[in-house]
């Protein structure tokens, strides 16, 4: 089905009986495998409203991210949460859309400073499981009127409703970017260096460590953004701060820094050509090194540290339940890339406490009583049913 408008979509849903698989750009086959009639969102595309002076933009869920990004760039603004392009990691092609990014709360390296996708969604519209169009939030930056229902939809993997329109808060594009690079650090040293940078007042907008970088050697990257004056000053002081860890190389070329952060954001290191399962771990950065050590005990793994160690991408051999090997884990592990069989066996998502799971399922029943949308996609691990 390809609804042409929100009303059209609402009609389709109201009269439907079978399950739907909501489809944006098709670049992000994440979550548990799910089946259903494709509900193609391409018809709900386009910028509905954009006020640069108010730092807000309203766009249809089917709008390609590239379209939104280029319009914002023309006005010197951007969506700061840096959603990843999954094509390389998951072996897909096409262009990702607003709806897919929002439904998966996709957020990249800059989240360590500015927050995640969910922090930039200030309102939305969606069609619920009964075919009603619901408005959540609004289009102003500060809004505590009623429950923050948008937050529930962001990262819901489409299980609560079909997002039709999203209002984002945007920010001014930084004038300049610099990357500070330190080569050859051990994981432990690297996390210490990233922590030192993140705990400085210099508003670090990215902190990543690749134990094996593009050239196969360890590299630790710190990103600074802002006006030229600010970047000059901060680079000078950070360079001094980081020099106790090793020689610091400063990269000011915007294309090269962009390529470096894209490599981290899209986890290009683990491109499909390299095989293996890919896990994403979210944890307090202070626990990162110990978790990686535990993962390494299970066999050969490769790691990318993002967000100072608060996000870990780990590639392991197939058919290894890395999640169970990492327990006790403060945080959670998501199986981002694996065979359908492995996804079923280990569960894509981390198991939740029974009552939290029960509350979530009850919410899903309130929003989508007939379980029409993306049935089973968000089911949690260890045999705990996401939807009965």
Partner 1 sequence: MELPSPDTHVIDRKQRIVQLLRMVVPHEAIVDNERQTLAYECDALTARRCPPLAVALPSTTEEVSKLLEICHRERVPVVPRGAGTSLSGGALPTSDSVVICTARLNEILEIDCDSRFVRVQSGITNVSVTQAVENDGFFYAPDPSSQLACTIAGNVAMNSGGAHCLKYGVTTNNLLGVRMVLMDGEIVDIGGESLDAPGLDLLGLVCGSEGQLGIVTEAVLRILPKPEGARPTLIGFDSAEVAGKCVADIIGAGVLPVAIEFMDKTCNRVSEEFSGAGYPDVEALLIVEVEGSPEEIEYQQGLITQVAWRHNPVEVRESASEEESLKIWAGRKAAFGAMGSVGDYICLDGTIPVSKLSVALRGIEELSKTYKLKVANVFHAGDGNLHPMIIFDTNNAAEMKRSEELGAEILKLCVRNGGCLSGEHGVGIEKRELMTTQFTEDDLEMQMRIKDVFDERWLLNSAKVFPLELSQARRMQ
Q: Which of 142, 300, 340, 383: binder of partner 1 (CB under 8 A)? A: 142
Stretch that binds partner 1, among 240-248, 249-257, 261-269, 351-359 (CB under 8 A): 351-359
CB 57 within 8 A of CB 167: yes
Q: Which of 7, 227, 243, 382: binder of partner 1 (CB under 8 A)? A: 227
Distance CA 359, CA 276 (A): 34
Stretch that binds partner 1, among 16-24, 149-157, 177-185, 255-263 (CB under 8 A): 149-157
Which of 165-174 are b and which e, b meaning 16 or more Cβ less than 10 Å from the residue's Cβ? bbbbbbbeeb
Q: Choose between 106 and 213: whose C-beta lies nearer to partner 1.
A: 106
Name the residue among 330, 326, 329, 347 with its Cα closest to residue 338.
347
Distance CA 169, CA 138 (A): 11
CB 159 within 8 A of CB 152: no
Q: Choose between 305 and 367: whose C-beta lies nearer to partner 1.
A: 367
- Smallest separation, CB 385 to partner 1 (Å): 13
Q: Choose between 239 and 272: whose C-beta lies nearer to partner 1.
A: 239
Q: Which of 27, 63, 105, 316: binder of partner 1 (CB under 8 A)? A: 105
Q: Which of 73, 135, 188, 344: binder of partner 1 (CB under 8 A)? A: 135
- Smallest separation, CB 334 to partner 1 (Å): 7
Q: In the structure encoding, which two tokens stand for residue 317, read together? A: 């051999």
- Binding status of residue 104 toward partner 1 by CB under 8 A: no
Q: Which of residues 55-74 bind partner 1 (CB under 8 A)?
A: 55-56
Q: Which of 18, 38, 46, 172: binder of partner 1 (CB under 8 A)? A: 172
The maximal CA–CA distance of the chain, rounded, in angstroms, is 66
Q: Choose between 2 and 342: whose C-beta lies nearer to partner 1.
A: 342
- Binding status of residue 286 toward partner 1 by CB under 8 A: yes
- Binding status of residue 270 toward partner 1 by CB under 8 A: no
Distance CA 6, CA 60 (A): 10
Q: In the structure encoding, which two tokens stand for residue 160, read together? A: 């609560």
Please tell me the number of Cα atoms within 13 Å of 266 on its side-chain side: 20
Distance CA 172, CA 53 (A): 10
Stretch that binds partner 1, among 86-94, 214-222, 268-276, 361-369 (CB under 8 A): 361-369
**Count of Cβ atoms closer than 10 Å to residue 120 Cβ:** 21
Q: Choose between 17 and 354: whose C-beta lies nearer to partner 1.
A: 354
Q: Which of 57, 136, 224, 322: binder of partner 1 (CB under 8 A)? A: 136
Q: Choose between 286 and 317: whose C-beta lies nearer to partner 1.
A: 286
- Smallest separation, CB 94 to partner 1 (Å): 26
Q: In the structure encoding, which two tokens stand for residue 8, read together? A: 């059209």
Q: In the structure encoding, which two tokens stand for residue 20, read together? A: 């739907």
Q: Which of residues 21-60 bind partner 1 (CB under 8 A)?
A: 51-56
Q: Which one-letter DSSP state was computed for residue 328?
A: S
Strand, coil or helix: what is 372?
Answer: coil
Q: Which of 201, 216, 300, 328: binder of partner 1 (CB under 8 A)? A: 201
Beta strands across the sheet bearing 56-60: 47-51, 56-60, 162-169, 121-127, 133-137
């Amino acid at each position: 089905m390809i609804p042409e408008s929100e009303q059209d979509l609402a009609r389709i849903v109201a009269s439907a009986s079978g399950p739907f698989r909501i489809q944006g750009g098709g670049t992000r086959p994440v979550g548990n495998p799910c089946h259903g009639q494709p509900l193609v969102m391409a018809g709900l595309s386009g910028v509905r409203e954009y006020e640069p002076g108010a730092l807000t933009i309203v766009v249809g869920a089917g709008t390609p991210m590239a379209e939104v990004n280029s319009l914002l760039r023309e006005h010197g603004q951007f969506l700061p949460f840096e959603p990843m392009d999954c094509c390389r990691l998951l072996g897909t092609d096409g262009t990702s859309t607003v709806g897919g990014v929002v439904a998966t709360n996709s957020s990249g390296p800059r989240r360590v400073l500015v927050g995640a996708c969910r922090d930039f969604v200030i309102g939305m519209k969606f069609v619920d499981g009964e075919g009603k169009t619901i408005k959540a939030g609004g289009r102003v930056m500060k809004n505590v009127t009623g429950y923050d229902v948008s937050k529930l939809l962001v990262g819901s993997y489409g299980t609560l409703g079909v997002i039709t329109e999203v209002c984002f808060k945007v920010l001014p594009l930084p004038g300049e970017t610099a990357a500070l690079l330190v080569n050859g650090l051990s994981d432990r040293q690297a996390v210490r260096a990233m922590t030192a940078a993140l705990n400085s007042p210099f508003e670090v907008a990215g902190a990543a460590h690749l134990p094996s970088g593009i050239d196969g050697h360890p590299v630790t990257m710190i990103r600074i953004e802002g006006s030229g004056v600010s970047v000059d000053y901060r680079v000078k002081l950070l360079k001094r701060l980081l020099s106790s860890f090793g020689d610091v190389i400063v990269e000011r070329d915007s294309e090269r820094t962009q390529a470096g952060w894209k490599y981290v954001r899209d986890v290009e290191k683990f491109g499909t050509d390299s095989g293996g399962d890919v896990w994403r771990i979210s944890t307090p950065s202070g626990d990162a090194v110990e978790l990686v050590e535990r993962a390494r005990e299970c066999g050969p793994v490769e790691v990318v540290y993002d967000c100072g160690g608060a996000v870990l991408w780990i590639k392991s051999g197939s058919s290894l339940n890395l999640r169970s090997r990492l327990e006790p884990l403060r945080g959670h592990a998501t199986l981002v890339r694996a065979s359908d069989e492995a996804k079923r066996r280990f569960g894509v998502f981390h198991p939740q406490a029974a009552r939290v799971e029960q509350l979530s399922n009850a919410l899903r029943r309130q929003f989508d009583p007939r379980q029409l949308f993306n049935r089973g996609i968000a089911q949690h691990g260890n045999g705990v049913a996401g939807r009965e």
